[in-house]
Amino acid sequence: MAVSLTINNEVVTVDADPSTPLLWVLRDHLGMTGTKFGCGIAQCGACTVHVDGRAMRSCQFPLVSAVGTHIRTIEGLSPDSSHPLQRLWIEMNVPQCGYCQSGMLMAAAALLRQIPKPTDDDIDQYVTNICRCGTYARIRAAIHKAAEAMPG
């Protein structure tokens, strides 16, 4: 079944079963591989995208539910890696293997949209993704620094 989706401000057409998780639509049908598969049960958050501005784990979000929403993926977080979080991720050497970091960035960006100056408790509550390499302390520090840098 062909449906239209709005992803990173572009309208695209996808022919896939409506129950297909958005994750696999992005990755396999549209070739947008920045959004990662980690667990498939909305535990790890590697597949986090924004749906109408809110963080959403796309592995449990079917295509049919995505129709009519605005989806943003890591590829569209900024046009040129200029989002303060992206810049700080580089500057503060945050990622190790990097596989979870698309999801971490999307979770952190959604947090800053909702709470421009988050506390440590806010970060604990909103950024619940898994990083097996253990980059949590740097992620926390980078979110705080980004909050300072962003107009809030």
Our finding on whether 87 is near other proteins (CB under 8 A) is yes
Least spacing, CB of residue 4 vs other proteins, in Å:
19
Q: Which stretch binds other proteins (CB under 8 A): 50-58, 68-76, 144-152?
A: 68-76
Give, in order, the Cα–Cα distances in Å from 74 to each of 2, 3, 51: 24, 22, 12
Radius of gyration of the chain, Cα coordinates, nearest whole angstrom: 15
- Return the residue matching tokens 């639509």: 25
Q: What Å distances lie between residue 91 and 12, 75, 82, 120, 146, CA to CA? A: 34, 19, 12, 21, 11
Find the part of the chain contacting other proteins (CB under 8 A) among 24-32, 50-58, 64-72, 144-152.
24-32
Residues interacting with other proteins, by CB under 8 A? 16-17, 20-21, 24, 27-29, 31-41, 43-44, 46, 73-75, 77-78, 81, 85-87, 89-102, 105, 120, 123-125, 127-140
